[in-house]
Structure 1
Amino acid sequence: MTTRPEVNVPTLPVAEVDDFQAFADHLPQLAWIATPDGNAYWYNHQWYQYTGTTPEEMLGQGWQAVLNPAVLPDVIERWFAAVASGSAAEWVFPIKGADGVFRPFLTRVQPQKDQQGRVIRWFGTNTEISEQQRIAELLSEEKRHLETLNQTMAQVSAELDLEKLTQTITDAGVRLTGARFGALFYNTTDERGDAFTLYTISGVPKESFSDFPNPRATHVFAPTFRGEGPVRSDDILADPRYGQNPPYSGMPKGHLPVRSYLAVPVKSRSGEVMGGLFFGHPEPGKFTARHEDLLVGIAGQAAIAIDNARLFEAAQREIAERREAEKHRELLINELNHRVKNTLATVQSIIAQTLRTNSLEAEARSRVDARLIALSDAHNLLTEHNWEGTTLDRVVAMALRPHQSDRERRFEVHGPNVHLSPKTALAIAMALHELATNAIKYGALSNDHGQVSLHWKVEQKNAEQRLHMLWSERGGPPVSPPSRKGFGTRLIERGLAAELGGSVQLSYPASGVTCVIDTPLPTVSGF
């Protein structure tokens, strides 16, 4: 048995020295005492037990033998800096145990000084902090994981581009697991609805995989592609599932080296397997249960994000298809309108040629032309809205514009915004044309001061909306009822009453013509 040097405590009685020795030997920390110039001359029992050294080996600067050579110069420098300054100090460095393993210790040194402030000895303790460092590293790693998860979730929740989205997820998986490389294989469809598989890769260039086929449903990959759950192997080369599927008895030639293997399926909330996350490392035993849990969480978020991206892409395709269909529809409507106008022009030409050799007066020809032009203008207005209808104020403006010229201030027009179906719009446009033409020829607009008011409103009658319009003239020459019903009157009555199920009341008081129109308002799509 070796004998340790006695503690030099000359001021203490022997009994107290023994008490100190017993106290120091039962401390959980390593403890020691050094001379004022820094030479250690006493260590407690814990020191010798941990380091496996003897008192003789530790005298003077013998403690340097149990320090890591890599940190020894720094420890010596800091220790003698404390000795020179006479100040307490603490720092962390590894100390080798009897088993040859270096473990981190928190070392604290405290000087004992006399009444004049001179250092008479140094007390030191070394507290092993392996567990504290392990916990600190775990907390630091967990913090990095949470930061990666939060950053990834924020990115994927705002990303709708499928390629960028899957790359973000794959990169996050590599960072979370410490994998050397990772890949996300996922299923998608093109604009024709054909299904195919794409992938993103992280940690190595994409060209590293470009010469190899996509993973098949082998014994290793099948659980992932079937959505059965995670697959984790400390050494895939030693896994009984590895190399069991021809033509490859394992990895193809030139494949990235994989020993540690971790794969997680990406499944939607409906249970659809969208793809799989795959991660590898050339060294064995790199992936833990914690890594597996993290990837399961990432895969769940990936499924939601991929589902959203798919819906967005499908919506974009549908929007593009609708736009294309709308363009085609507009083209057809414009072509139809062009042909209608050509037909009207042909009718107008035939009538003109017929009436030219007829005894009918020029006024008749002018009326026919005006009616055809009014009908053509109404078609143009409806074409601007793809024949989905238009508004009453636009119909009124279009119908009255040819008759206003310098008479604009003589029209009083007022009414709410009302949406009309194409059929209603055409009938009202032709009725207003006939009323305005009659007012110019015989009524309030035939002199310089007569006026026309046109008011309308919408009323609800028995769950049906009805349009009520009032045309009234004043200030013109005295009016009397016509001796016979002309074509214009019949046109108004046929267009509004017969075709629309409305009613028309034409009155001829001496003060001026009035026309009350009451017609149902059909529901108009697109407004």
Structure 2
Amino acid sequence: MSEQSEVSAVEDVASSQSDAEQRLAELEARLSETEKQLRWSNGKLRMALEVGKLGAWERDIETNELTINAACKANLGVPVDEALTHEELEKLYHPGDVERIQQAISYALATKTDFNIEHRIIRRDGRIGRILVRGGAVYENGKPVRMIGVTQDVTEREKIREEFHLAQRRQDFLLTLNDQLRSFEDPYSIMEATSQSLGSLLKVDSAGYGEVDQDRGIVLVEREWSKGAISNEGRHYRLQEFLPGMLDELNQGRTLAIADVRIDPRMGDPAIQSFYNTINARTLLVVPLLKNDRLTAVVYANSSEPRAWTTDDLALVEDVAERTWTAVEKARAEMRLREAESQFRIIAESLPALVWIIDTDLRLTYANARWLDFSGLPVEDSLGESWMRWIHPDDLTRVLKKMEVHRRDESSHTTEMRYRTREGVYRWHMIQAAPVHSARGEFKGWCGTSVDIHDIKETEEALRRSEEQLRIALRAAKMGDWSWDLATDRLNLSDRAAEIFGLPPGTALSGLDLQKQLHPADVARAVDAMEKSVGKLAPYDVEYRISRANDGARVWVASQGQTTLNDDGSPSGIAGVVQDITDRKHAEERQQLLIRELHHRVKNTLATVQAIVGSTARTASSIDEFYHGFVGRIVSLARTHNLLTEDLWQKASLEELIGTELGPYEDEARNRILVDGPSVELPSEAAVPVGMAIHELTTNAAKHGALSTFGGQVEVKWRVEPGDTRPILNFVWTERGGPRVMTPTRQGFGSRLLQRVLATQLQADVHMDFQEDGLRFTMVMPIPGDPPLFNPDK
């Protein structure tokens, strides 16, 4: 090689080396610039990732080594200082999204495109999150070696989106439900639509609308949606079973949301757990409906899985509950209104009366077919003011004047007026009208009836004349009338009949009340007479004693009647008259008493005369002495009878009664008869029986006692003491020196008179002591002050 060639070669080498160094410098400059740009890009990327809250990740496909930054770990819910492998990452994927994630990555690798997928992850704390993952593969020589990408936590965004969709869905649900509820007329269809719609929306196992009967302690569920099916069996649950221990909360209007029945402390009772196991319910939501502070209904939902009820769930169900209750009550009100209108028309057309409605201007707005038939008007002319032309002019003026008052007071009214028939004849009608108000309380007019009472009015007038004649006849006979209803056991008395029984006018009695007034000895006879009258349809005729209610006086009444019959011929009661026969009975008693007394006194008088004859004969020394003594005693005896019967039996002195009876037996020494006591005037009702008693005692003494032998003595003493209401007479009759006394073996008329008459008529306490040395008779009695009971001249 020549020198020139060598030099040229050296120069070429030097030039190449210089070029290489220059290129190296350029490359280093470019590398420095690239690194600068890379740092700049990394800075911007890091800022972008931080601002966008993006996490970055890189995965080596061959080694599955995973590199993620702190933001990515935060998105995944992994601690910052924890290393994470690809296998561990895949375990965080929600099982429902794993297949979709794998398909997206596989497709991106196959098509050499980026992938973009949103999926759920299960964080370490158990919460479910949602992330957006974007990434792609890095290729070398056409082969993917790495996967890189970013993640973004979109949980809150999705939550907001879901809440928006849910709110939109619920709004659509409520609008649809409203349309449904408005379309139903049947309350049960409304309950059914609510239960089905609510159950589907909430995705629960069962939902229903129940009405609460607190008096019976149950929830009645007419319609229940359960797992896609509607039950219309009308189930009912016991409140304490369905909602144990929580009624207080419901009664206060608080919604009950139970996430898990098994762990809720209020549901710990084994019986409650058993109940909810039976209906397969783990979660429960109950919304109470309070109306007028009273629990009236509930809307409920339950499911077999626990559920945390959200405030939106509660608000929705509470809204649905109120809408449902309003729709149910409205449907029921409208149903009742339709039924009422239907029933009104049925009743109006079937009533034997004119049925009508007039407005506040007294214009006829409705009339039943009977009005058309009565008036003869065509339908088109039957309303408005047409009715006024059919009223008697005298009645119309009166009625229109009264209607002004009723219109002002919005009040009901009843009156009578005459309507003209199509034949031109006026007939009496009874008008009854009630005010009509709208649902808002606005006065709309009256609804009323006009009932033909013309025949009744004529019958009433005839009956009135007949009753007046009967009253005149009964008044003249001093009788009262009565009627007894067998079905009600009610005894109605006229005013005179009530007066006889001592009762206020208009009093009605039961059979038992009447029996209480009857004398006990007469009850059986009176009841037997009534039973025979009803059983044998025989006349009722009985006399009995009663205690007058107002003053307790014992009076005799005579009652006569005749059995009344029902339409089928069965007895319906008795109607009759009653008369006070006390005076007649007393007259009969006096007559019988006087007859017996006359008979007895004649016998006693003869015995007395005989005793006087004997006594006088034993003591007289001559015929003349015997005559004068005998005549004197007979005259004294006659004075006794005169004393008892004179002065219309008004009053008699007790001392005179005693003196008159015992006077004939007094001897000249005046020590045979001893009388001592204050002046006492006895009314005739006491003087007669007391005089009879003294006479009996005197006669007995003359026949068998102290006056029957010489030396016998009779001592009579009395005194008067104050009593509670009347003075008390203490009377003592004592005999001495007579024959030996023995208790009689039988009771004669005199003894019966002393024991019964004095005790019965004078309420006297009488005692007879047959002591061996002589009879001792005592009598303690209140001195009567009333008018005489026995008066033969009355």
TM-score (norm 2): 0.35
1:78 and 2:107 matched: no
Letter of the structure 1 residue corresponding to residue 35 of structure 2: V
Q: 1:375-421, CA deviations, whole angstroms, 9 ceiling, x for partnerless residues?
A: xxxxxxx95824366159989xxxxxxxxxxxxxxxxxxxxx99744
User: Which residue matches 1:13?
Assistant: 34
Q: Determine the C-alpha separation between the residues in 2 that align with 1:163 and 1:495.
A: 55
* C-alpha separation in 2, matches of 1:89 and 1:301: 49
Q: Deviations along 1:54-100, whole A, 9 cap, x unmatched?
A: 999869x9976765676555444433543454444422234676778
Among 171, 176, 180, which residue is 1:151 paired with?
176
The 5-angstrom pairing of residues 89-488 of structure 1 reads 89-94=115-120, 103-109=129-135, 124-186=149-211, 197=220, 199-203=222-226, 213-216=237-240, 219-220=244-245, 222-223=247-248, 226=251, 228-242=253-267, 251-252=274-275, 255-268=278-291, 271=293, 273-329=295-351, 385-387=372-374, 390-391=377-378, 420-421=386-387, 424=390
Q: How big is the shift at 1:315?
A: 1.0
Aligned letter for 1:145?
R
The Cα shift of 1:215 comes to: 2.8
Q: Compared with structure 1, are the counterparts of its residues 308 and 68 closer, same or farther at alpha carbon in structure 2 (3 Å cutoff)?
A: closer
Query: How far apart, CA to CA, are the structure 1 residues paired with 2:320 and 2:266?
Result: 26
The 1:25/1:265 distance shift into structure 2, 3 A limit, reads: same
2: CA distance, partners of 1:111 / 1:233: 50
Q: Which residue of 2 aligns with 1:191?
A: none
1:426, CA displacement in angstroms?
12
CA distance in 2, matches of 1:134, 1:202: 29
Secondary structure of 2:253 counterpart: coil
- Structure whose CA Rg is larger: 2
| CA positional deviation for 1:128 | 1.9
CA distance in 2, matches of 1:387, 1:326: 15
Paired with 2:237 and 2:350, the residues of 1 have a C-alpha distance of: 42
Alpha carbons 1:392, 1:425 under 8 Å: kept: no
Q: Which runs of 5+ in 1 are unaligned?
A: 1-8, 189-194, 334-381, 396-416, 428-462, 464-493, 500-523
| Matched-pair contact (CA < 8 Å) for 1:224–1:265 | no
Q: After superposition, what is the alpha-carbon deviation per residue over 1:76-126, rounded to whole angstroms, capped at 9, x for unaligned?
A: 44335434544444222346767787743222236899xxxx999976222
CA-to-aligned-CA distance 1:137-159 (integer Å, 9 cap, x gap): 22222222222211112222332
SS of the equivalent of 1:131 reads: helix
> Structure 1 25/203 Cα, relative in aligned 2: closer, same or farther at 3 Å?
same
Which runs of 5 or more residues in structure 2 are unaligned? Answer: 1-29, 355-368, 394-400, 402-422, 428-446, 450-794
Partner of 1:434: none
- Contact 1:87/1:110 (8 A) holds in 2: yes
Counterparts of 1:255 and 1:214, CA distance in 2: 14
Q: 1:160 to 1:41 in 2, by over 3 A?
A: closer
SS at match of 1:30: strand
- Find the residue that maps to 1:157 and give its secondary structure: helix
Task: After TM superposition, give the deviation of residue 163 of structure 1 in Å.
Answer: 0.7
- Contact 2:120 2:130 (C-alpha < 8 Å) held by counterparts: yes
Report the alpha carbon displacement of residue 33 of structure 1 after superposing the two structures with TM.
Answer: 5.8
Q: Distance in 1 between matches of 2:95 and 2:220?
A: 55
Distance 1:197 1:112, change over 3 A: closer
Native 8 Å contact 1:182 1:277 kept in 2: yes
User: How far apart are residue 283 of structure 1 and its match?
Assistant: 3.0
2:353–2:370 CA contact under 8 A, matched in 1: no
- Report how far residue 161 of structure 1 moved: 0.7
Q: Could you say what secondary structure the match of 1:257 adopts?
A: coil
8 Å contact kept, 1:390–1:419: no
The secondary structure found in structure 1 opposite 2:374 is: coil
Work out the CA distance in 2 between the residues paired with 1:64 and 1:325.
Answer: 80
- Given that 1:183 and 1:202 are in contact with CA atoms closer than 8 Å, whether structure 2 keeps it comes out as yes
User: Could you tell me how far apart the structure 2 residues matched to 1:240 and 1:58 are?
Assistant: 43
> Partners in 2 of 1:243 and 1:76 — Cα distance?
47
- Residues 31 and 44 in structure 1, CA contact (< 8 A), matched pair in contact too: yes
SS in 2 for 1:171: helix
- CA drift of 1:321 comes to 1.8
Question: Once the two structures are aligned, what percentage of the paired residues are identical?
Answer: 13
Name the CA distance, whole Å, in 2 between partners of 1:80 and 1:17.
30
After superposition, the CA RMSD in angstroms is 5.5
- Aligned residue type for 1:215: L
Deviations 1:247-290 (A, max 9, x none): x555548730333222122234x555432222222333432332
Give, in angstroms, the shift of residue 320 of structure 1.
Answer: 2.6
CA distance in 1, matches of 2:384, 2:71: 98
After TM superposition, give the deviation of residue 162 of structure 1 in Å.
1.0
Deviation string 1:316-348 (CA, Å, 9 cap, x unpaired) is 22123213213313x778xxxxxxxxxxxxxxx
In the alignment of these two chains, the number of paired residues is: 348
CA-CA distance at 1:308 after TM superposition: 0.8
Q: Which has the higher strand share?
A: 2
Measure the CA separation in 1 of the matches of 2:177 and 2:381.
54
Checking the alignment, whether the CA contact within 8 Å between 2:259 and 2:282 is kept in structure 1 is: yes
Superposed CA offset, 1:30-54 (max 9, x none): 2246899999997555446756799
Which residue matches 1:368?
A: none
- Alpha carbons 1:38, 1:122 under 8 Å: kept: no
Structure 2 Cα separation of the partners of residues 304 and 234 of structure 1: 28
Q: Are the structure 2 counterparts of residues 275 and 387 from structure 1 closer, same or farther at C-alpha, using a change threshold of 3 Å?
A: farther
Structure number with greater CO (CA < 8 Å, separation at least 6) is 1
| Structure 1 match to 2:556 | none
Cα distance, 1:148–1:320 mapped onto 2, change above 3 Å: same
2 CA distance for matches of 1:102 and 1:125? 19
Q: Deviations over 1:412-463 (max 9, x none)?
A: xxxxx99744974999xxxxxxxxxxxxxxxxxxxxxxxxxxxxxxxxxxx9
AA matched with 2:317: L
